[in-house]
Amino acid sequence: MKKYTSLKSVFYSDKSSDKVIYTDFLNNRLNNELIVYSGLKMSPFNSKKEIRDVNTLFEIFFLPTVQISILKDKIYKNSSVITYYMSQLPEVASDQLFYNTLVLELQSTNDIEGIRSSRQEIGEAINNVITKSQKSNMRFEGLVNQYINIKKGNFNEIKSVKEFRTIWDELVGEEEKDEIPDGNLFRRHPEYVMDGSKIVHAGDISEEQITQNLTKLVYEMNNHDIPALERCFIAHYYYEYIHPFYDGNGRTGRYIACSYLARKLDIMTAVSFSSAISLHKKRYYKPFMDMSKTFNHGDATNFIIRMLEILEEGQTILLKRIQTGFKLLNDAEKRVSKLKSLNDEEKSVIFILYQKHIFGTYAPELTDNDLKEILHLSTYKIRNITNNLKKLGYIDLIKEKPKVHYLSQELSKDIPTLH
């Protein structure tokens, strides 16, 4: 399959003094009858002078190439397969896999920004949100809460500029108290992205410009004349181009993309986006840099292709994890069936704990009270079951308040956890 020719490659291969080959190629591209304009305008970044060329404006556009179509076909097919697999998992396994994936996602979105966070720390924050614990000031609780809202179907369908600030406040506001915007909604002063001592990106210069461009972005995000995934990634670029806050732009930008992808695809694909980016940081950041070059002229086609590739690769990794999980779960089910001394209710408890063991390495704890609700048994019944299973050496009590049991080493040793 012929790949899309970047304007960058044509520009640098044109050795003529007046760049006539590049100019002709650019004009042909801009006059292509299939060109799709976004309505969003950008000023290129001069990397030598380390400033935006504010006297130049390009409208962001893309061409609907065969490469984009094939990638989208793969992504939509993968999404259907993921949705099917998730529907076939037992409820506990499905929930544990989601939360485990979410832990990896949130650690990745932090890691991309150079913010240190452990999986255990994020898992505890998830547990705190789910159980509505009274523990206060836990790191990343706002981040967790927003992503869990997506699971609940509470998507951020952005209809006004104010919603960008609301998302920032709820997502990272608690973590970034020293970086609270000093304008009405956004930052008042210039903000730059640095690579060492070098400026590699300049955000919008003022709150007025930020507000104007975010207003245009809201319109683009809700413009159904542009296909959904292309619209998502153009919006992702433009949000980072505007850079409305002093800090937290990357995390809020990826969250907004995640919320959008969850509506258009499936939630597991959506909450694997940052994890996929984390594996390909250079491939993620390079298209942002190329988009900002003067010679690129606002062409977002290759940017869209790269984002689709990262998304599709993330799905492939996720599918392998799910398929491995099914195999492990099948092995666990066979093992439970061989525990002849147990009654059906005791086997059900063991099988649920296997689901936790396989799919929930970093997910929130599964308490005895959870077991009671899942199996519709009384507290008395669960207590008797867990006491008997402990006597038999099948489970261990690892926490007293609230009571939490794990499979014993004897049962779990030959069935690995899913990482």
Given this model, what pLDDT does residue 137 score? 61
Given this model, what pLDDT does residue 207 score? 97
Was 306 annotated as part of a binding site?
no
Was 123 annotated as part of a binding site?
no
CA nearest neighbour of 340 among 415, 392, 413, 396: 392
Given this model, what pLDDT does residue 133 score? 62
Was 343 annotated as part of a binding site?
no
Given this model, what pLDDT does residue 414 score? 87
On the question of pLDDT at 395 being above 80, the answer is: yes
- Give me the CATH topology for the region 38-320: Fic-like fold (1.10.3290)
- Give the residue extent of every domain in the chain: 38-320, 343-413
Given this model, what pLDDT does residue 125 score? 84
Question: pLDDT, tens digit, for every residue of 85-122?
Answer: 999 999 999 999 999 999 888 889 888 888 888 888 88
pLDDT bracket for residue 343 (50, 70, 90): very high
- The reply to whether domains 38-320 and 343-413 share a CATH topology is no
On the question of pLDDT at 131 being above 80, the answer is: no
Question: pLDDT, tens digit, for every residue of 273-299?
Answer: 999 999 888 889 999 999 999 999 999
Was 114 annotated as part of a binding site?
no
Was 396 annotated as part of a binding site?
no
Q: Is 243 a catalytic residue?
A: yes
On the question of pLDDT at 266 being above 70, the answer is: yes
Question: pLDDT, tens digit, for every residue of 44-85?
Answer: 999 999 999 999 999 999 999 999 999 999 999 999 999 999
Which one of 201, 236, 243, 297 is the catalytic residue? Answer: 243
- High-pLDDT (> 70) share of the chain, %: 99
- Give me the CATH topology for the region 343-413: Arc Repressor Mutant, subunit A (1.10.10)
Question: pLDDT, tens digit, for every residue of 160-179?
Answer: 999 999 999 999 888 888 88
C-alpha span between 31 and 14 (Å, rounded): 20
Was 252 annotated as part of a binding site?
yes
Mean pLDDT, all residues of the chain: 92
Was 247 annotated as part of a binding site?
yes
Given this model, what pLDDT does residue 134 score? 55
pLDDT bracket for residue 306 (50, 70, 90): very high
C-alpha span between 104 and 101 (Å, rounded): 5
Was 250 annotated as part of a binding site?
yes
Given this model, what pLDDT does residue 70 score? 97
Burial level of 17, CB count in 10 A (0-12/13-18/19+)? exposed
List, in order, residues 6 or more apart from 337 with CB less than 8 Å away. Answer: 347
Question: pLDDT, tens digit, for every residue of 353-389?
Answer: 999 999 988 888 899 999 999 999 999 999 999 999 9
pTM, entire model: 0.93
Higher-pLDDT residue of 365, 343: 343
